[in-house]
Amino acid sequence: MPDLHEPQFACHVEDLTVSYRERPVLWDIDLDIPPGVMAAIVGPNGAGKSTLIKAVLGLVTPVAGHVRVFGLPVTQARRRIAYVPQRQSVDWDFPATVRDVVLMGLYGQVGWFRRPGRAHKARATAALEQVGMQDYANRPISQLSGGQQQRVFIARALVQEADLLFLDEPMAGVDAVTEAAIVALLKAQRDAGRTVVVVHHDLQTVDRYFDWLVMLNQRIIAQGPVAQVYTEDNLRSAYGGQLALIGSLGNAGDAASTPTATAGAGAQDA
């Protein structure tokens, strides 16, 4: 039984560095996410947001650093983590029903070699009800709309009843109704004491949806409660001159110098 290292954090990352073909994609990432928050990870294109999640989960091998989830190494804490990858990372023509996909979320708990049992299938149905897709249980996933696909992915995470959820751009490309539903679901998870970490694509909605914010651009620019971190200075550091949002925060009167979307000093390639 290894010593618990920083167990007070849901996710503790230290010195994490990931390289791709000798160039650093993430460098010297020190990240601490307290339990029970709904956290957003934001940053410009190419900032390494998806890579960060993948490195935390062990899907990408870093060249330096370590990760602890609730004080444990990730390989020992898999039961407590749920992962929702980007929707387009999957081929939706795959021959599976909605229920099949949600059941896959439980494979980790079913374990090697065994098959899902009746109890697992019941939990899958319950998860579908949570996202409002129970009528679609036997529908082939190739017939789903984008919003429905996203709901199925969320159900696949919810069914695991994990304490820590990682979602990669769950609200990208979905309609407003689905977005509101997803936010409500995630907030309910947070209110139930779970920790939710979302790579979020839309800066406009950060302060409405989240209570914790991580700004990333290959390095951690800032992290902490949204109110403290969501400032002009931090946005400028993270996004360079790329945002029209800078200068419009807080109130409309603060128009000042609002740079339009051109590459600034800190611009990174995708």
Partner 1 sequence: MMLDSLDLMILSTGALVAVSGAMLGTFLVLRGQAMSGDAISHAIVLGIVLAWMLTGARAGPVVVLGAALAGMAAVLLAQALSRSGLMGQDAATGLVFPAMFALGVLLINLNARNLHLDIDTVLLGEIGFVWLDTVTIFGLEWPVAGVTLAVVGLLNAGFLLIFWKEQKIAAFDSGLAAALGFRPHVMGLGLLALTAVTAVASFDAVGVVLFLAFLIVPAVTGQLVAASVGGIMVLAMLSGVVSVGAGYAAALTWDVSIGGAMAVATAGGLVLALVLSPRSGVVAALIRRRAIRLEALVATLLTHLAAHENTPRQAEECSTGALVEHLGWEKGAAQTVVLAALDRGVIARANEELALTEAGRALARAAAARTDRRRLFAAQRGDG
Partner 2 sequence: MLNPTLITVILAASMIGALAGVLGSFLVLRGQSLLGDVISHAALPGVVGGFLASGGRGFVAILAGALISGALAGLVVQLLRRGAGVKADAALGTVLSLFFAAGVVLLSVAQLRSGAAGLTVFLFGQAASVLRADLMPMALVAGLVLGGVVLLWKEFHLISFDREAAQAQGLPVSLLETVLTVLIAVAIVLGLALAGVVLMVAMLIAPAVAARQWVRGLMPMVLLAAVFGILAGAAGAVISAQGHGVATGPVMVLCATALTAVSLLLAPERGIVARWTRQRRARRSLHGRQVLAALQGLSQAHDDPSYASAEGMLNAYLGASSQPVLDRLKGRGFIRQAAKMEPELGKDRRWELTDAGVLHLENKDETQ
Tokens for 126, please give them: 């319950």
The structure tokens 């919003």 sit at 147
C-alpha distances (whole Å) from 28 to each of 34, 40, 52, 97, 198 are: 19, 19, 11, 42, 20
119 touches partner 1 (CB under 8 A): no
Q: Which 93-112 positions form the footprint of partner 1 (CB under 8 A)?
A: 94-97, 100-101, 104-105, 107-108, 110, 112
Shortest distance in whole angstroms from residue 112 CB to partner 2: 22
- Classify 223 in phi/psi space as left (phi over 0), alpha (psi -120 to 50) or beta: beta
130 touches partner 1 (CB under 8 A): no
Please identify which residue in 59, 63, 122, 184 interacts with partner 2, judged by CB under 8 A. Answer: 63
172 touches partner 1 (CB under 8 A): no
Q: Which 20-39 positions form the footprint of partner 2 (CB under 8 A)?
A: 22, 24, 27-28, 30
Rounded to whole angstroms, the Cα distance separating 173 from 87 reads 9
C-alpha distances (whole Å) from 71 to each of 66, 109, 157, 196 are: 11, 21, 22, 17
17 touches partner 2 (CB under 8 A): yes
Tokens for 228, please give them: 């403290």
Per-residue interface string for the shown chain with partner 1, residues 50-79, x marking contact by CB under 8 A: ----x--xxx---------------x--x-
Q: Is the dihedral of CA 81, 214, 229, 150 positive or negative?
A: negative
Please identify which residue in 43, 44, 48, 65 interacts with partner 2, judged by CB under 8 A. Answer: 65
65 binds, among partner 1, partner 2, none (CB under 5 to 8 A by kind): partner 2
Shortest distance in whole angstroms from residue 95 CB to partner 1: 5
237 touches partner 2 (CB under 8 A): no
* Smaller CB separation from partner 1, 140 or 225: 140
E-only strand ranges, the chain: 11-20, 23-33, 38-42, 64-69, 81-84, 164-168, 195-199, 212-217, 219-225
Rounded to whole angstroms, the Cα distance separating 216 from 107 reads 32
Tokens for 23, please give them: 């160039």
SS3 at position 29? strand
Determine the size of the site formed for partner 2 (CB under 8 A): 23
* Smaller CB separation from partner 2, 66 or 79: 66
147 binds, among partner 1, partner 2, none (CB under 5 to 8 A by kind): none
SS3 at position 217? strand
**Residues of the shown chain interacting with partner 1 in the complex, contacts defined by CB under 8 A:** 21, 54, 57-59, 75, 78, 81, 83, 85, 89-91, 94-97, 100-101, 104-105, 107-108, 110, 112-113, 115-116, 140, 156
**Residues of the shown chain interacting with partner 2 in the complex, contacts defined by CB under 8 A:** 2, 5, 14-17, 19, 22, 24, 27-28, 30, 55, 58, 61-67, 73, 93
